[in-house]
Structure 1
Amino acid sequence: MSVESLNELVATAFSGISPLVIEDVVDEGERVVVRARTPGSTAVCPACGALSERVHGYHWRTVADLPIDGRRVVVRVRVRRLVCPTRGCRHTFREQLPGVLERYQRRTARLTRQIKAVVKELAGRAGSRLLAKLAIGLSRHTALRTLLRIALPTGRVPRVIGVDDFALRRRHRYATVVIDAETHERIDVLPDRTADTLEAWLRENPGVEVVCRDGSATYAEAIRRALPDAVQVTDRWHLWHNLCETALSEVKAHSTCWAAVLDTPIYEGPRAQTTLERWHQVHGLLQQRVSLLECARRLQLSLNTVKRYARADRPERMLRVPKYRASLVDPYRDHLRRRRAEDPAVPVQHLFEEIKALGFTGCLNLLHKYINQGRADADRSHISPRRLARMLLTRPENLKSGHRDLLDQLTAACPEMTHLATSVRTFAQLLKPRPENVDALDHWITQVRAADLPHLHAFTRGLERDNDAVIAALTLPYSNGPTEGVNTKTKRIARQMHGRAGFNLLRHRILLG
C-alpha cells in the first residue's frame, strides 16, 4: 500500500479528529494509540481574546476516542502552551480545539456525544453495561454525571399548554408535567400536584392563553387563581370514559329489563334477598328525611353504596345478571340439554360419566355448579352487563350484523334502555369539535334529564360544574392527549430506573424527551 493510500485510510478512520495532525498510529493489541499534534496556527487567549503564536512550551494530553474494531482508542496529543501578548492578562495559556478537545475533558467531543446518546436512553447501570459492550469503559456514576450535564431545552412558555399528574409512588406521591399542547414539547416537571405549586409556576411563566387538563378540580382552581382570563379545556377522552362508566351503571340498573328478553336468570338466593332488604332499609330512612351520610352510619355501609341504592327507584333495579365465565362444560351443553329433556331425573353423576367419556376434563363439582346455575337449560349464551355496555358504546358500523341486531333487540326492552342508546350515540357525535356543539350540548342535557336515568343525570351535573371547560373541549381542537402520551413514556422511564433515582434525575430525563 502506498503512502498516499495509507494516509487516506488513516484520515478516513480518524475523520472525527481531522483538525489534529496525526503523526503515528500504533496497534498495541487491546488498544490503538494515536499520536498527534495541534496545527501550528494562532490561538485565542481564553481571558482577553488576543491572538498569540509565541510558544512557551509543550506538553502531552491523553484522551479517549471512539473505539475501532472493538478496541479502545487512545489519542496522545502534543499541545502547545502559548504566551498571552496582552499586558496584565494571564501569563500563559494552553491552546484548545473546540469540537475536538474540550477543556478539562479526558474524552474527545465525538466520544462524549456518543456516550450522551446512550445514557440519555438508558441512564446509569444499563448505559454502563451497553457502553462496555462497545469497548467504552464508564462507571454507572460517571454515566449519571454525564447525563445530568446534558443541557436541557431553553425555557420558553407556549401559548397552549397541557398539564397532568403522574405517580412518583402510587397512591403516595405525585408530580405534574407541563407540555406544549401544540408541539408536544416538554416544558417543565413540578415536584407535586398541588394547586399552589401549579399556580406559582403559571405566575412565573406568563403568556399562557389556553390550558388543557383533565377533570381535576385542583388544577382548575390553580388556573383560575393564576390566569383568570385563560381558557381551560377539559380532556375529551375523560369525558367519554366517564360516560362509559355511567352507561355501564345504567345497563346494570336495567338488568331486569333486557335480561327478560334473553330469558337470562337474575341473581337469586341469599345475595338477592340481602340486596332487596338493603334497598328497603335505605329508602325507609330517606323517607324519614335522614341524610345519606347518616344512612351510611346507621346501616354500616359506605357512602357510595348508599348513593347507589338511593338512585334506584325500584328494588328490582338493584338485582344483577350473574357473571358467567367460559366453562369447560360449555362444549357439552347440547348433550346435557338433550339428556335432561329425555330423562329429567337423570343423576348428575351419570351425566358426568357420559361427558367424561366424550372428553370432558373437569370435575364433578364444576358440572354440579353449571347445572344449578341453569346454564345447561339456557337457550342463548349469556351476555354480561359489561359486554352489553361495550356493544352499546361501539360504533354501529364496527359491530357485526348479528351483534347489531342483538343490540337493537336489547335496547328496545324498555324506554330507558332505548333512551340510553340514543343518548350515547348523540354524545359521541359531540366529541368532534365544532362551534355548533354549544347548543347541541344544552339540548342533549335537556333530553337526558327528561328520561329516568339517574346515573346519567349525575353525569350531566358533572358537565355543568365544569361547563366552560367542557364547552371549550367540544368546540376547540386542543386536547390533553399529548400529555397522557408523555405520561406513558414517563412510566417507562420510571420502571427502567426501578425507583432508585431521585426526582431531579427523573425530571432531567423527562425533559430531555
Structure 2
Amino acid sequence: MNEFIKLLDKNIEFVSYEIINDTMYINIVSNRNEVICPFCGEISKKIHSRYLKSFQDLPIQDKKVIIILNNRKMFCNNPNCNHKTFAEKFNFISSKGKKTKRLENEIISLSLNLSSITASKYLKRSIANVGKSTICNLLKKKDIMINKEDITKVCIDDFALKKRQAYGTIMVDIDTHQVIDMIFSRELNDVVEWLKTYQNLKIVSRDGSITYKNAISLAHLKAIQISDRFHLLKNLTTYCKEYLNKIFKSKIVIEKNTFDKFNKNKFCADKNKEMTKNERALKALNMINSGFTKTAICQSLKMNIRTLNKIINLKQNDINYYGKNKLTLKQQQRFKNKQELINTVREMKNNYSSVSKIARELNLDRRTITKYLDSTTTGINGNLGSKRKSNLDPYLLFIDHMVDLGATSTQILEKIKNKGYAGSASNLRHYISKRKNLLSDNCKNKSYDKTQHILVDRKLLIKLIFNPIEKIKELTPSILNKVYEKFPDYKKIIDIVSNFKALLKNKCSNELEAWITTTSKLNIEQLNSFINGIKRDIDSVKNSITYDYNNGLAEGSVNKLKVIKRIMYGRCSFELLRSKVLNIDSMKFN
C-alpha cells in the first residue's frame, strides 16, 4: 500500500486504511523535513499547525477511494513575504481541490462522449462521487492550447446552436483533419477578429457564404479562398430540379410505336404492373405449374422472391382471396348470395309455383320476386361503381381551376365557403388529393392511347440530373431521345449539368466563363440566380476547380458536433460544447 501511495508523490507515506461499505479510506502523512513557501520561495521547517484534508482518488478493487492527508501549516521565515503562514502543497492535487489530478483526467475522458447526467450516474457506481455540475465545470476548465502560428490551411463552416436564432463558426485544419477552434458567432466583425488571430493563414476553404468571403478578405487579403465544389454542384442541381418540376407534368406522354424490342419488353413489364395482385398471383402459379423457375417468374412479373414464396405456400382456398381488400370480398360475397337467391326464385317458378307462394316461402315482397324473374336482373348492384352526390359537386370546376393555378386547400376552402359551400375541409382535401393522384391532363386526353403511347414519370427525368442513364433502369435511350425531341430545353439542361461536372472533374477553370455565357443564353430564371452567385464569388469558384481542397472536413465536423450537442440534453453552453469538441478531437490525434 505504501508503494501505491508513493505513486502519487514520493514525499508522502501510508499510515492506515479502513473500508466502510463501498469506500476505502486511506490515511497518509507528509515526510518532508523542509517545505518551500509558494509565495516567496523561502524554505521553512517551523510548523504552525496541522489539519486533515480529504480528497477522492482513482478506485482500488472496485472500491471508491478517499484519501485523508494529515497536512501541515507552516510559518514563513521571510519577513518580506506577504504571508506569515502557508499550507504545504503537493503536485498531484490543486490547492483547494477535492479530487486528484489523475481522477479529474479520468472523469474528463469518460465524460467527453456522454452527457454530464449519464456520466455522473456511471461514475457514482464504482469510481467517485461526482455531480453533473462538477463534470461540466471540469470540462470547461480543460482547455486545449492551440499553436496558431502553425496553422496555414483551414476550412470553416457555420453551425446552429439554436436553429434560426444562434449560430457559431467552426474551423478545421486541412492538413491534420483536427478541429482547431470555434467561436459563438458568424457575424462579419466577429469572424474577422477571430481570423486575424491566425496570422499565417494561406488557404481557406468555405461554402458560398458572402459573409465568410468578406471576413477572409478583410482578415487575410492574400489568402486563397476556395469555394466548396459539393455546394456548387448541389445548388446547380437544385435549381435545375426546380425548373423541371415547373415545365413537366407528373406524367409525360411519349409515343412508343418506334421503340425497339427492348422497350417492348418494358411495356410488357408495365402491363404486369397494371395487373391486380390476385391476377399476378394466379399467373405466377400457372407459370410454376408450367415449369418456369422462380427467378424467371420474378423477372417476368417484376415480383420479389419472398412474395412469390408466400404465394406458393398459400392454400388453394386462400389464393382466391389473395390481394383483395375486405370491401371487394364483401361485395363479391353479397353478389354471390343475391345471385343464388335469384336462381332459387327462378327454379321455383319453373316448378309451377306462383309468385305469391314464392314470396311467402322466401319471405320476400311479390314485386321483388317479379323483378328477380326478369331475365335482365343479376346479382350485381345497379349502383355499383356509380358516384354518390357530394356537396362539392357545384364547385368542382372552380376547385379544379384553382388547383391548376397552384392554390392550397386552405385558400380554396375560403373561396368556396364564400360561394356557399357548407361541407368540411377534410372532404375538400380528400377530393384534391384524389385528383392529384390521377393522371395528368395530357394522359386523360382522348388522344392518349395505351397501345400507341407510354407514360414517363417526371422523377425519372429528374434523376438524370444526378445519375447517368445506365443507372436508371426504367429509362432507356429510345425513350430519352423522344423526350429530347418533345422538350428541347430538357436536353439543354442535362447538357449544362454534364458540362459543369466535367469542368470540375477535369480542372478546366479557363472554361468556366464560356460555360457561364452558354448558360446565360437560355435565360432561365433559376439558372440566372445560380450564375449571379458564381459571378459574385468568381475567384473562389475558379480556385475550387483548380485546387483539390474542399469543405468536407468542416461539414463532417459539424455533424459530429450536432451529435455531441444532442447527447448533452440541453446542458449545452457554448463554452462546454467547445471544450468537448476540441478535447475529443485532441484525444484522437494525440
Give the match for residue 502 of structure 1.
573
Question: Using a 3 Å threshold, how does the CA distance of structure 1 residues 510 and 75 change in structure 2: closer, same or farther?
Answer: same
Any conservation in 2 of the 1:332–1:355 contact (CA below 8 Å)?
no
Mapping of residues 66-215 of structure 1, within 5 Å: 66-82=58-74, 84=76, 86=78, 88-89=80-81, 90-98=83-91, 100-154=92-146, 156=148, 158-215=151-208
Any conservation in 2 of the 1:248–1:386 contact (CA below 8 Å)?
no
Higher RCO structure, 1 or 2 (CA under 8 Å, sep 6+): 2
CA offset at residue 455 of structure 1? 3.8
Give the match for residue 536 of structure 2.
465
Give me the TM-score of the superposition, normalised by structure 2: 0.60
Any conservation in 2 of the 1:33–1:76 contact (CA below 8 Å)?
yes
Q: Greater Rg, structure 1 or structure 2? A: 2
Question: Using a 3 Å threshold, how does the CA distance of structure 1 residues 422 and 486 change in structure 2: closer, same or farther?
Answer: same
Q: 2 CA distance for matches of 1:249 and 1:456?
A: 10
Give the match for residue 558 of structure 2.
487
Q: Percent identity?
A: 24
Q: 2 CA distance for matches of 1:492 and 1:186?
A: 15
CA offset at residue 367 of structure 1? 13
Instruction: Indicate whether 1:249 and 2:233 are aligned.
Output: no
Give the match for residue 345 of structure 1.
none
Q: 2 CA distance for matches of 1:57 and 1:179?
A: 53
Query: Aligned AA for 1:244?
Result: T
Mapping of residues 381-420 of structure 1, within 5 Å: 384-394=457-467, 399=471, 405=477, 409=481, 412-413=484-485, 414-420=487-493
CA offset at residue 140 of structure 1? 1.7
CA offset at residue 470 of structure 1? 0.3
Q: 1 CA distance for matches of 2:554 and 2:121?
A: 32
Deviations 1:177-235 (A, max 9, x none): 23333333334333332222222333454333332221112222333334333322111
Instruction: Indicate whether 1:431 and 2:422 are aligned.
Output: no
Query: Aligned AA for 1:245?
Result: T
Question: Using a 3 Å threshold, how does the CA distance of structure 1 residues 135 and 421 change in structure 2: closer, same or farther?
Answer: same
Question: Using a 3 Å threshold, how does the CA distance of structure 1 residues 401 and 243 change in structure 2: closer, same or farther?
Answer: same
CA offset at residue 416 of structure 1? 3.4
Give the match for residue 359 of structure 1.
323
Q: Which of 503, 508, 511 does residue 440 from structure 1 map onto?
A: 511
Question: Using a 3 Å threshold, how does the CA distance of structure 1 residues 386 and 222 change in structure 2: closer, same or farther?
Answer: farther
Q: 1 CA distance for matches of 2:482 and 2:79?
A: 95
Query: Aligned AA for 2:41?
Result: G
Query: Structure 2: which 5+ runs fail to align?
Result: 257-272, 283-317, 329-383, 388-433, 585-590
Query: Aligned AA for 1:502?
Result: S
RMSD: 4.1
Mapping of residues 229-268 of structure 1, within 5 Å: 229-253=222-246, 255=248, 259-261=252-254
Give the match for residue 56 of structure 2.
64
CA offset at residue 415 of structure 1? 4.0
Question: Using a 3 Å threshold, how does the CA distance of structure 1 residues 103 and 372 change in structure 2: closer, same or farther?
Answer: closer
Any conservation in 1 of the 2:64–2:127 contact (CA below 8 Å)?
yes
CA offset at residue 453 of structure 1? 5.8
Give the match for residue 276 of structure 2.
332
Any conservation in 1 of the 2:157–2:170 contact (CA below 8 Å)?
yes
Any conservation in 1 of the 2:278–2:323 contact (CA below 8 Å)?
no
Q: 1 CA distance for matches of 2:498 and 2:509?
A: 17
Question: Using a 3 Å threshold, how does the CA distance of structure 1 residues 129 and 382 change in structure 2: closer, same or farther?
Answer: farther
Give the match for residue 221 of structure 1.
214
Q: 2 CA distance for matches of 1:391 and 1:41?
A: 83
CA offset at residue 11 of structure 1? 4.4
Q: 1 CA distance for matches of 2:502 and 2:86?
A: 71
Q: 2 CA distance for matches of 1:171 and 1:355?
A: 56
Q: 2 CA distance for matches of 1:258 and 1:29?
A: 75
Query: Aligned AA for 2:117?
Result: R
Q: 2 CA distance for matches of 1:36 and 1:166?
A: 50
Q: 1 CA distance for matches of 2:494 and 2:21?
A: 76
Query: Aligned AA for 1:242?
Result: N
Give the match for residue 474 of structure 1.
545
Any conservation in 1 of the 2:167–2:186 contact (CA below 8 Å)?
yes
Any conservation in 1 of the 2:140–2:576 contact (CA below 8 Å)?
yes
Any conservation in 1 of the 2:64–2:126 contact (CA below 8 Å)?
no
Q: Give the count of matched residue pairs.
A: 418
**Deviating more after overlay: 500-509 vs 110-119:** 500-509
Q: 2 CA distance for matches of 1:181 and 1:33?
A: 50
Any conservation in 1 of the 2:56–2:99 contact (CA below 8 Å)?
yes
Question: Using a 3 Å threshold, how does the CA distance of structure 1 residues 355 and 484 change in structure 2: closer, same or farther?
Answer: same
Query: Aligned AA for 1:358?
Result: Y
Matched position secondary structure for 1:228: coil
CA offset at residue 79 of structure 1? 3.5
Mapping of residues 289-304 of structure 1, within 5 Å: none
